[in-house]
Amino acid sequence: MDALAADDVPTTESADSADPGTYLQIQRFYARQMQLLDDGRAEDWARTFTRDGVFEVGGEAVRGVTDIARAARRTTDRFAAEGVTRRHWIGMLTVGGKPDGATARSYAVVLETPRDGDPVLRRSTVCTDVLVREAGEWRVKHRTVTRDGLD
């Protein structure tokens, strides 16, 4: 799966078709996933993707847990060395699907706080995920991040 198929993207009609239990599970998944990344646990964060998962930003895709982990480790190490704390905030979540597979669309913002500094809003994005259940856990099969303001 190189890109999201039109059928995979939640629409206004299908965006909230998931049952409340699935919606809550996915909210919890994102809370855990983003805290792993923000805590510098890049390898644990990468394992929230399927083995063949895709992380795509601006048309550039990283494929597979190993490469996703490597890219995340480089980024988390760079910010740690610079003394910058990053926080990812996911909101306005819509979920379509069933208990074994879903699509999710959210707004994601990234805040950066330099050591002894004030927080700065660094990115505003739309995040679209194809999610699957593996061994009872949600995993990202394909994530597409679209940065606001980049056309």
**Cβ-proximal residues to 139 (8 Å cutoff; 6+ apart), any chain:** 48, 49, 50, 53, 131, 132, 133
pLDDT the model gives residue 2: 43
Summarised one tens digit per residue, pLDDT across range 89-109 is: 999 999 998 878 999 999 999
Q: Output the average pLDDT for the chain.
A: 90
Summarised one tens digit per residue, pLDDT across range 116-131 is: 999 999 999 999 999 9
> What CATH code would you report for 14-147?
3.10.450.50
Sequence spans of domains, the chain = 14-147
Summarised one tens digit per residue, pLDDT across range 78-88 is: 999 999 999 99
Alpha-carbon gap, residue 49 to 46, rounded angstroms: 6
The residue-averaged pLDDT of 137-150 equals 95
